[in-house]
């Protein structure tokens, strides 16, 4: 145990202080299965944003996932399309230090041969085994994301990450020994052709003061060590002497490229309108442009162009959270009320009952204008529920009034909740 690491304390209402006791190395309070289940139910314990700040939110899509080299303890996919491998290790099992690291690198090599369809199959199997909601993978990721996720984007993003070896691998334990940290740099050389990120994560577990049970724990995650993605590798080629004169080696120097950190492929406004015109005609392009421009100017909305749609968002008044998508206009010439609106507004730290009330009133008002606007909102991947824009042009003034009332209600609610 590293005694230089500060210990957490509990401060009582009278100022009394109690130092928490970390579980000893040889504890028998839980096993690796408990650790795996804890991380599956609470992916937020994995400090992946310290490794990649664009990773998004994690969804566990499999436990004991079989691969040619063995079974991954926990497999995750992030809302930004990053595969994440987690291998767990208890502090009391030091004999597995080299094996767990080597095994994790083998999993990276195996998983980059897979694709999005394989990942979706792992999710279906996991959801069925655990009795979880049987939503498809993109729909479930949408439920976790701050932003709407296009299915084509997610499929392409995952497949591209796998092709490039852009995978995050974590070895997670209740304690990480110094020897394991030293092994990381040596064993990573065997996989220098991949762009993976490898991290050692320690879950420091502390016994809480008695609360009626001795099993209550405080779990504090921290990254102990990480290995950045490899950008360059050296390959040695041995050529038989009779063939040496036939081999020509030409050095190619590529200019350094800035690492792409942008996670989503987005259309420009012109590309979006061109797509609308191609799919639904010039009149639809013009009417849709006039409609969303009017809403933006009238109510201070922000048009956010995605890969397949423009989201008309109410910006957060203080810029602290993502905007709330009141309407979506899709590049195939369709319109819908995205269900993401409710989750986005709940992140504004407003009273949840008030948020639900004004959102459902808004959706009910849209439904009264045209029953194809669903009372519970429309999932971004549910293309069959979108409304053809040119079929509702007579209702656009009524839709505008409905949007205006809703935006005013949001701002009033936020102002009333502000200190």
Residue 210 lies in a domain: yes
Residue 165 lies in a domain: yes
* 378 closest CA partner among 369, 366, 368: 366
The yes-or-no verdict on residue 2 having pLDDT over 60 is no
- What confidence tens digit (pLDDT) does each residue in 147-206 have? 778 788 889 999 999 988 889 999 888 765 555 555 555 555 554 555 778 888 888 888
The yes-or-no verdict on residue 1 having pLDDT over 80 is no
Q: Which of 17-21, 263-267, 297-301, 393-397 has the lowest mean pLDDT?
A: 263-267
Distances (CA, A) of 130 to 43, 145, 366: 16, 22, 37
In this structure, the answer to whether residues 287 and 166 fall within a common structural domain is no
As for how many domains the chain has, the answer is 2
Residue 242 lies in a domain: no
Residue 316 lies in a domain: yes
* 229 closest CA partner among 195, 258, 206: 195
In this structure, the answer to whether residues 219 and 273 fall within a common structural domain is no
Domain boundary among 202, 227, 252: 227
In this structure, the answer to whether residues 21 and 106 fall within a common structural domain is yes
CA atoms of 246 and 231, how far apart (whole Å): 30
Buried (b) or exposed (e) across 351-364, using 16+ Cβ within 10 A?
eeeebeebbeebbe
In this structure, the answer to whether residues 123 and 178 fall within a common structural domain is yes
DSSP 157-224: HHHHHHHHT--EEEEEES---HHHHHHHHHHGGGGTTS--EEEEEEEEEEEPPPSS-TT-EEEEEEEE
Q: Which structural domain, as residue segments, surrounds residue 184?
A: 17-227
In this structure, the answer to whether residues 223 and 273 fall within a common structural domain is no
Residue 260 lies in a domain: no
In this structure, the answer to whether residues 61 and 151 fall within a common structural domain is yes
Domain boundary among 207, 227, 247: 227
Query: Torsion angle, CA of 141/147/153/156, rounded to 10 degrees?
Result: -50
β partners of residue 346: none
Residue 370 Rama label (left phi>0; alpha psi -120 to 50; beta): beta
β partners of residue 80: none
Residue 12 lies in a domain: no
Over residues 69-80, mean pLDDT? 94
Q: What local confidence, expressed as pLDDT, does residue 263 receive? A: 44
Domain boundary among 177, 209, 227: 227
In this structure, the answer to whether residues 194 and 284 fall within a common structural domain is no
> Is the Cβ–Cβ distance between 240 and 220 less than 8 Å?
no
* 333 closest CA partner among 271, 276, 270, 384: 276
In this structure, the answer to whether residues 222 and 338 fall within a common structural domain is no
- What confidence tens digit (pLDDT) does each residue in 334-389 have? 999 988 888 888 888 888 999 999 999 999 999 999 999 998 887 666 667 899 99
- Residue, of 240 and 105, whose pLDDT is higher: 105
């Amino acid at each position: 145990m590293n005694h230089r690491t500060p210990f957490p304390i509990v401060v009582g209402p009278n100022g009394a202080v109690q130092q928490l006791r970390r579980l000893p190395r040889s504890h028998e309070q839980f096993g690796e299965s408990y650790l795996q289940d804890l991380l599956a139910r609470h992916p937020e314990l994995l400090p992946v944003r310290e490794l990649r700040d664009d990773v998004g939110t994690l969804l566990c899509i499999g436990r004991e996932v079989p691969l040619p080299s063995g079974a991954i303890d926990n497999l995750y996919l992030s809302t930004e399309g990053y595969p994440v491998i987690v291998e767990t290790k208890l502090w009391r099992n030091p004999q597995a230090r080299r094996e767990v690291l080597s095994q994790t690198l083998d999993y990276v090599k195996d998983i980059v041969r897979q694709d999005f369809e394989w990942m979706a199959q792992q999710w279906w199997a996991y959801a069925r085994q655990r009795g979880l909601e049987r939503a498809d993978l993109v729909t479930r990721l949408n439920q976790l994301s701050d932003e709407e996720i296009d299915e084509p984007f997610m499929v392409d993003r995952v497949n591209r990450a796998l092709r490039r070896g852009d995978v995050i691998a974590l070895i997670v334990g209740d304690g990480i020994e110094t020897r394991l940290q030293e092994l990381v740099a040596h064993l990573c050389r065997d996989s220098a052709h991949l762009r993976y990120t490898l991290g050692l994560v320690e879950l420091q577990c502390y016994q809480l003061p008695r609360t009626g049970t001795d099993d209550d724990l405080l779990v504090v995650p921290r990254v102990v060590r990480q290995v950045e993605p490899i950008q360059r590798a050296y390959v040695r080629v041995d050529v038989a002497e009779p063939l040496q004169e036939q081999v020509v080696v030409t050095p190619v120097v590529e200019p350094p490229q800035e690492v792409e950190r942008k996670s989503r492929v987005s259309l420009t406004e012109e590309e979006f309108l061109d797509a609308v015109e191609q799919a639904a005609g010039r009149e639809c392009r013009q009417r849709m442009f006039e409609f969303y421009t009017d809403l933006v100017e009238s109510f201070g909305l922000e048009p956010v162009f995605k890969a397949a749609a423009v989201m008309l968002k109410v910006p957060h008044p203080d810029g602290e959270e993502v905007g709330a998508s009141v309407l979506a206009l899709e590049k195939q010439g369709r319109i819908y009320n995205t269900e993401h609106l409710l989750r986005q507004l709940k992140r504004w730290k407003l009273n949840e009952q008030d948020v639900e009330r004004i959102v459902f009133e808004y959706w009910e008002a849209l439904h009264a204008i045209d029953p194809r606007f669903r009372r519970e909102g429309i999932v971004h991947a549910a293309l069959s529920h979108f409304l053809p824009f040119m079929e509702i042009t007579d209702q656009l003034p009524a839709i505008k009034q409905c949007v205006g009332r809703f935006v005013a209600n949001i701002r009033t609610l936020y102002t009333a909740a502000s200190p």
